[in-house]
Amino acid sequence: MTHLNLCIIETGASHPTMAARYGRYPHMIVQWLQPVLPNARFTVVSVFEGESLNLDNHDYDGFIVTGSPHGVYDDLPWIAPLQEQLREIARQGHPQLGICFGHQIMAAAFGGTVNKSHKGWGIGIQHYQFTCAQLPDSDVLVYHQDQVVQAPAEAEVIGGSSHCPIGALKYPFAARSIQFHPEFSNEFVAALIEFRNDPIDDREAQLQALASQPLNNRPYAQWAGDFFMQHRKNTPAHS
């Protein structure tokens, strides 16, 4: 069987206490995608820890940009280079998928705007609606304060919520991104709420919903898996 080589670009990590208990974000992404991509091989490049992403000579079939506690506007040495690398990945024609911070930095890299939401934190379960036939309208897991407030001119908004209208983007080249976290579990989000104690108006209601309302992240894994398979070894499509 031909293997699919995916590079997970790690852009941040949860607190070490949480990471030790639940794993870091790449671990969650692998667990989420492996059932629909059993032939995939995953390589993690932790750019936020100083690891270099080599795009000059690689055999990656696609790239996934993780979530992060950082903001795209933070003065960190790896953020501007990563935006240029995302543009280079697009020029090479390889597919890229952004999740949460990944959604935001891709938008910034391709001409959009990201800010802290005037609506405050979005945490817990939110209802997303989609215009993409493969993505069903459903409840999803979120944990963010920043969001894309202006989409790149060439991107199409394919989903969002009342709290985050620009919650999913499709580009005219091989790039997709989502603000929500299909790789998270209810248990992890509930633990984050308890551990971080960020300001949430409906904190108790969210904890109760997380404990009683199981979510199905399989359709989003299938959507992402199909995207990578469709665009693997694509020809350059963006300049």
Within-domain flag for 237:
no
Mean pLDDT of all residues in 64-90 = 97
Domain extent at residue 27? 4-231
Q: Which residues are catalytic?
A: 100, 181, 183
Within-domain flag for 236:
no
Q: Which two tokens stand for residue 51?
A: 């690891």
* CATH number assigned to the domain comprising residue 197: 3.40.50.880
Q: Which string of DSSP letters, residue by residue, matches 60-86?
A: -SEEEE---SS-TTS--TTHHHHHHHH
Q: Is the pLDDT of residue 233 over 90?
A: no
Q: Which string of DSSP letters, residue by residue, matches 2-57?
A: --EEEEEEE-----HHHHHHH--HHHHHHHHHTTT-TTEEEEEEEGGGT-----SS
Within-domain flag for 119:
yes
Pairing type for strands 175-178 and 96-99 reads parallel
Counting beta carbons within 10 angstroms of the beta carbon of residue 129, is it exposed (0 to 12), middle (13 to 18) or buried (19 or more)?
Answer: middle
Within-domain flag for 68:
yes
Question: What is the rounded average pLDDT for all residues in the chain?
Answer: 93
233: left (phi over 0), alpha (psi -120 to 50) or beta: left
Which of 79, 102, 71, 63 has the alpha carbon at shortest distance from 181? Answer: 102
The pLDDT of residue 57 is 87
Within-domain flag for 238:
no
In which band, very low, low, confident or very high, does the pLDDT at 201 lie, cut at 50, 70 and 90?
A: confident
Neighbours of 115 (CB within 10 A): 15
Model pTM?
Answer: 0.94
Q: Determine the Cα–Cα distance for residues 172 and 154; give it in Å rounded to an integer.
A: 7
Pairing type for strands 156-160 and 122-130 reads antiparallel
Pairing type for strands 156-160 and 146-150 reads unpaired
In which band, very low, low, confident or very high, does the pLDDT at 235 lie, cut at 50, 70 and 90?
A: very low
